[in-house]
Structure 1
Amino acid sequence: MPVPEAVATEEDRRFMAAAIRFAERHRGLTATNPSVATLVVRDDGAGPVIVGRGVTALGGRPHAETAALAEAGALAIGATAYVTLEPCAHHGRTPPCAEALVAAGIARVVSASADPDVRVDGRGHGILRAAGLTVVPGLLAREAAERLSGYLTRHARNRPQVTLKIAVSRDGKIGRRGGGQVKITGPVADRQTHLVRAQSDAILVGIGTVAEDDPRLDCRLPGLGARSPRRIVLDPMLRLDPASAFARGAKSLPTQLAVLPNVDGMRRQALEAMGFGFLACETVPGTGRVALPELLEDLGATGTMTVLVEGGATIARSFLAEDLVDRLILVEGPVTIGADGVDAPVTLPEAKTRFRLARHDRFGEDLWHEFDLRGPRR
């Protein structure tokens, strides 16, 4: 059982909070590994000083502990290491991080989130304790888990974490039938949406959204263009127009189409030459719709940890009906669309009965509601 959090000090909480913030630096950029941070702190009598910092490197290697210990050098001897995820315990091309902490002479390890990976799952802490280190697990575990939720979801459910984001008008609509894009939210809320995109591994829409809106689906925040997520389009019958702006963007933004096997080989070859990748998919019998649980399972197997769904009403309803939404973002704009509008797939009162309201903000005239699951799924 974890040591009660009361063992931790206010100083521990302060440094762990700093480590959790530091881990945000590479969130979404560490491939199949989570973005973890480590701070090495020592106190020689004049107060605690950070002598080593590390965050999981771009692409996933080296791990945060390795980087922090390298920066600390000999100052790591007798110091405390603050790690946002339990140190790994398995041997790969390099020794496990738990052993590296022991070898560096760290005296005390304070960790936040537990690691559900079967190769770790308590073994990292076990290595530390067996070597005589003091271990304080579970400090600010909830706060760390929120940032690591994609990684934790992939291990717990064998699929990526799914965030469904919907912009809703004042009269409960998400667009106008046959009218193309309708501007619902203002510039501040839009920038928040782009920030969510920058923190996601992939953004997913249906072919209907692409055909209707011809969206870019990138991150357009200054300095964060390189953090645009991989684009995924559910297009089982390969209807994508090669002349669309979306299609032309495949050369610069990684884009995949979820298609049925053996659909129009010539068209597929042409799109592949334009830069598209392909995901094999199945459809639900009698509906023609992509089988979402299987698609997500395949994405999880390739290491995808977070998927942002920004599709239309049909796609949103499918994810909700399949109980595949882990996080829901509803942004209410001040505009009124009218009777010819498309009804939102979920209303704010419905969301409150199904999810837990985790965040509520006002951005100009827009209201941002962020929900997560009320409790663990069975």
Structure 2
Amino acid sequence: MRPTVTLKLATSLDGRIATASGESRWITGEPARLQGHRLRAAHDAILVGVETVLADDPELTARLPGRTVDQPLRVVLDSRLRTPPSSKVAGENTLILTAAEPVAVGAAEVRQVAAEHGRPTIPAVLAALADFGVRSLLIEGGGQVAASFLRAGAVDRIEWLRAPILLGDEGRPGVAGLPLLKLSDAPTFRRLAVEPLGDDLWERYEKRQ
């Protein structure tokens, strides 16, 4: 059985995760960022694309004040193995899934999976994670990764942290292109809750069956 997939978005009101120059720290406020760490702690694995690693060098760990938590598996989608061995994720408790022939990347585990057009397929990614015992997966970015899971119909839930700012269409979208010709083809979700977190909003959705 594949993992349950949750897409976490931290965006402006108009769905942007960064300015045109790539500046993204911090769009949301501290309460929303703390909630993001709670979401990490509640999942078996966190997944990002290599572009996020190259742009932000994230730790991808759950950090909660006064609490020691079991750290989720860190997963990087990296079609051509561009993850720097010096990056924070290139250590233990990291799985890099690639379309390329595996080579060593720091202390991370590297696994080649089935690919199309040079990119790992989402079913192959989910199957590999299931082999690692992952039952719940949190996707944290960026826009291309979010769109690929949505196009595959693999997003079960959305946790959306939305800040009261506008970045315009020059900003980088939280979800990249979904080549839809009809509204009926759009991924559709049911809103579960809306809650204020400081100046931000935390919106929760689940996939309509």
Q: Same fold (TM over 0.5)?
A: yes
**Cα offset for 1:340?**
2.4
1:257 & 1:180 partners in 2: Cα distance?
A: 25
8 Å contact kept, 2:150–2:187: no
Matched to 1:321, the amino acid is R
1:311 & 1:361 partners in 2: Cα distance?
A: 22
**Cα offset for 1:258?**
0.5
Match of 1:14 in 2: none
1:280 & 1:178 partners in 2: Cα distance?
A: 32
Match of 1:104 in 2: none
**Cα offset for 1:321?**
0.6
**Structure-2 change in CA distance of 1:162 and 1:173 (3 Å):** same
**Mapped pair 1:290 → 2:129:** no
Match of 1:304 in 2: 134
2:141 & 2:108 partners in 1: Cα distance?
A: 19
From 91, 94, 100, the counterpart of 1:255: 94
8 Å contact kept, 1:198–1:224: no
Q: Tell me which of the two structures has the higher relative contact order, counting C-alpha pairs closer than 8 angstroms and 6 or more residues apart.
A: 2
1:260 & 1:374 partners in 2: Cα distance?
A: 31
**Cα offset for 1:180?**
4.2
| Higher Cα radius of gyration | 1
**Cα offset for 1:226?**
3.4
2:113 & 2:67 partners in 1: Cα distance?
A: 31
1:255 & 1:341 partners in 2: Cα distance?
A: 30
**Cα offset for 1:215?**
0.9
Query: Where in structure 2 are there 5+ consecutive unaligned residues?
Result: 177-183
2:21 & 2:78 partners in 1: Cα distance?
A: 19
**Mapped pair 1:322 → 2:152:** yes
8 Å contact kept, 1:361–1:368: yes
From 20, 24, 29, the counterpart of 1:181: 24
2:187 & 2:142 partners in 1: Cα distance?
A: 22
**Mapped pair 1:362 → 2:205:** no
Alignment of 1:220-259 (within 5 A): 220-247=63-90, 250-251=91-92, 254-259=93-98
2:10 & 2:158 partners in 1: Cα distance?
A: 11
Alignment of 1:26-175 (within 5 A): 158-175=1-18
8 Å contact kept, 2:122–2:149: yes
* TM-score relative to the length of structure 2: 0.87
State the SS of the aligned residue for 2:55. Answer: helix
**Cα offset for 1:182?**
3.5
Runs of 4+ aligned structure 1 residues displaced above 4 Å come to none
**Cα offset for 1:343?**
2.4
Query: Deviations 1:210-244 (Å, cap 9, x if unpaired)?
Result: 10111111111024443221100001211011223
How many residue pairs get aligned? The number is 201
Match of 1:337 in 2: 167
**Cα offset for 1:309?**
0.3
Higher strand share: 2
* TM-score relative to the length of structure 1: 0.50
Same amino acid, percent of matched pairs? 37
Larger displacement relative to structure 2 (352-361 or 205-214): 352-361
Query: Deviations 1:105-139 (Å, cap 9, x if unpaired)?
Result: xxxxxxxxxxxxxxxxxxxxxxxxxxxxxxxxxxx
8 Å contact kept, 1:235–1:259: yes
8 Å contact kept, 1:178–1:212: no
Match of 1:10 in 2: none
8 Å contact kept, 1:199–1:227: no
CA RMSD of aligned residues (A): 2.2
**Structure-2 change in CA distance of 1:159 and 1:238 (3 Å):** same
8 Å contact kept, 1:236–1:281: no
Higher helix share: 1
1:226 & 1:275 partners in 2: Cα distance?
A: 22
